[in-house]
């Protein structure tokens, strides 16, 4: 959510930002907010004047009563009562105006960083850098569920009977590999100085609207019937929510946290054949990283975060690339975002395995996450990034470490988490 003062003083910048995100239907909101803000300030001015008048008249009443001028005192008391009634009326109007301002401001997108490429959707995202050499072996690589099935490691049919489409059973060495990757990612981030955390897996609605846009909320979140609770779509939601209505001392920043959680997503819409199996699902597990920092440090942390993911994937012999998200592909709260994509030897292309985002002070402003600074208080900046999210990451792992005989190599870094195993052999 933008600062109302910034919008009031820079309406053209806000409107151009909306155009850059190809959301022209939101342009009228800017003028509507400015008009409401003007009315809100008029109300405050009138209330302030009425209260000053009330204080002045109230002082007169005592003196008139003391002098025996009851009729004059009663006339002034009537004026005070009328002023009180008007103050009450204006206060009610102010609440409604403030609520309307907030509702509209929550829909106006955050100002994107000047470095973000302008584009309508993800087809116009821009490749930044490749890490590792993409390899296509001279043998055929099966679809990822076929690889898993050869290890007796997945059962989609049983999951469909139990929970429906978009769920899975992982078993045996594949399930162990899944847990090993999560544990390795946890320790990888701890070794980089992040504090490990396991957060709540449900959050209240005020936290949901604090960490994401209404469009994201509608397309992603599962609501708990009869409760003011939602299942989290990523641990970032509850991790950022941890700091709601708090003040941090400037010298204590940054907060750097890495968190584990299951994630639950609706995943609305139709998806292509390459997104079946365990690519796009309703339930998965993830290791996440979040940072809460001073505004001047957020871009430096942004670069550190996505590099952590690149380093982790490279330590597991998986080539990756980074892809800058264009303006039209950025969610409304994001200032800047980069996707990390892993190489798929089977598809001979890269696919998304993680996303790093700088949200500026948007989440902090919505959740009131503030910093006590030497020169006054201000809103913190928040960032988040995927460390690793199996089972999608398992697709990249299995394809890039598959051998011609169907076995899968276990990179040295992961072997301690697999009981020293160097390969997973076909059952």
Q: What CA–CA distance (Å, rounded) separates 250 from 142?
A: 52
- The contacts of residue 310 (CB under 8 Å, 6+ apart) are 131, 320, 322, 340
Q: Go through 199-235 and write b for each residue having 16 or more CB atoms within 10 A of its CB, e for each that does not.
A: bbebbbeebbebbbbeeebeebbbeeeeeebbbbbbb
Nearest to 109 by CA among 335, 365, 383, 358: 335
> What are the φ and ψ backbone dihedral angles of 402, each rounded to 5 degrees?
-80, 140
| Higher-confidence position of 336 and 66 | 336
The neighbouring-strand residues paired with 357 are: 337, 384
Who contacts 8 (Cβ-Cβ below 8 Å, separation ≥6)?
Answer: 34, 37
Per-residue pLDDT tens digits for 18-27: 999 999 999 9
Of 411, 422, 285, 272, the residue nearest 351 (C-alpha)? 272
Using the predicted structure, report yes or no on whether residue 377 has a pLDDT greater than 90. Answer: yes
Would you identify the CATH topology of the domain 122-424? BirA Bifunctional Protein; domain 2 (3.30.930)
Q: Residue 318: which of 415, 391, 402, 259 has the closest Cα?
A: 402
- Quote the longest CA-to-CA distance of the chain: 108
Residue 231 Ramachandran class (φ > 0 left, ψ -120 to 50 alpha, else beta): beta
For residue 82, what are the CA distances in angstroms to 23, 78, 88, 387?
Answer: 46, 6, 10, 62
d(CA 220, CA 217): 5
Sorted by sequence, the CB contacts under 8 Å of residue 132 that are 6+ apart come out as 314, 317, 318, 319, 320, 343
pLDDT score recorded for residue 366: 96
Same fold, 4-105 and 122-424: no
Q: How far apart are CA 118 and CA 19, in angstroms?
A: 10
Indicate the class that CATH gives domain 4-105: mainly alpha
For the entire predicted model, the pTM comes to 0.90
Q: What are the tens digits of pLDDT across the range 285-328?
A: 999 999 999 999 999 999 999 999 999 999 999 999 999 999 99
Average pLDDT, the chain: 94
- Half-sphere exposure in the Cβ direction for 271 (13 Å, CA): 13
Residue 270: pLDDT over 50: no
Q: Cα–Cα distance between 177 and 183 in angstroms, integer?
A: 10
For 162-203, what is each residue's pLDDT tens digit?
999 889 999 999 999 999 999 999 999 999 999 999 999 999
Rounded CA gap, 28 and 31, in Å? 6
CA 16 to centroid of chain Cα atoms: 23
DSSP character string of 188-227: HHHTTTPEEE---SEE-HHHHHHHS-HHHHHHHPEEPTTS
Domain boundary assignment for the chain: 4-105, 122-424
Write down the pLDDT at residue 274: 54
What the block records as the tokens of 392 is 């999608």
Q: For the chain, how far is it from start to end, CA to CA, in angstroms?
A: 53
């Amino acid at each position: 959510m933008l600062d109302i003062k910034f919008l009031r003083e820079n309406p053209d910048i806000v409107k151009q930002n909306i155009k850059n995100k190809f959301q022209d239907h939101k342009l009228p909101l800017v003028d509507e907010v400015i008009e409401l803000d003007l009315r809100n300030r008029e109300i405050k001015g009138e209330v302030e004047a009425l209260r000053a008048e009330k204080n002045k008249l109230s002082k007169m009443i005592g003196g008139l009563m003391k002098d025996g001028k009851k009729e004059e005192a009663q006339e002034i008391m009537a004026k005070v009562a009328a002023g009180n009634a008007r103050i009450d009326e204006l206060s009610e109007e102010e609440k409604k105006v403030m609520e309307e301002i907030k509702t509209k401001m929550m829909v106006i997108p955050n100002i994107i960083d000047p470095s973000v490429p302008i584009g309508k959707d993800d087809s116009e995202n821009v490749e930044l850098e490749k890490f590792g050499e993409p390899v296509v072996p001279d043998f055929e690589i099966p679809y990822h569920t076929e690889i898993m099935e050869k290890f007796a490691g997945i059962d989609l049919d049983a999951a469909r009977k139990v929970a429906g489409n978009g769920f899975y059973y992982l078993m045996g060495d594949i399930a162990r590999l899944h847990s090993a990757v999560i544990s390795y990612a946890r320790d990888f981030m701890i070794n980089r100085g992040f504090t490990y955390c396991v957060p709540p897996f449900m959050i209240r609605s005020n936290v949901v609207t604090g960490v994401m846009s209404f469009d994201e909320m509608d397309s992603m979140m599962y609501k708990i019937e009869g409760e003011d609770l939602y299942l989290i779509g990523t641990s970032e939601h509850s991790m950022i929510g941890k700091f709601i209505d708090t003040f941090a001392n400037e010298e204590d920043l940054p907060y750097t946290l890495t968190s584990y959680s299951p994630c639950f997503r609706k995943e609305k819409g139709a998806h292509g054949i390459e997104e079946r199996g365990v690519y796009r699902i309703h339930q998965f597990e993830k290791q996440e990283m979040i940072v809460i920092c001073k505004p001047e440090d957020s871009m430096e942390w942004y670069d550190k975060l996505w590099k952590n993911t690149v380093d982790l994937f490279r330590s597991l012999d998986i080539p990756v690339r980074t892809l800058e998200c264009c303006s039209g592909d950025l969610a409304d709260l994001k200032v800047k975002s980069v996707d990390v994509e892993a190489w798929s030897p089977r598809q001979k292309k890269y696919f998304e395995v993680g996303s790093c985002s700088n949200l500026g002070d948007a989440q902090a402003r919505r959740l009131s996450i503030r910093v006590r600074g030497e020169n006054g208080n201000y809103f913190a900046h928040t960032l988040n990034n995927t460390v690793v999210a199996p089972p999608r990451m398992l697709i990249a792992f299995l394809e890039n470490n598959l051998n011609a005989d169907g076995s899968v190599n276990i990179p040295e870094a992961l072997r301690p988490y697999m009981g020293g195993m160097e390969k997973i052999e076909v059952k």
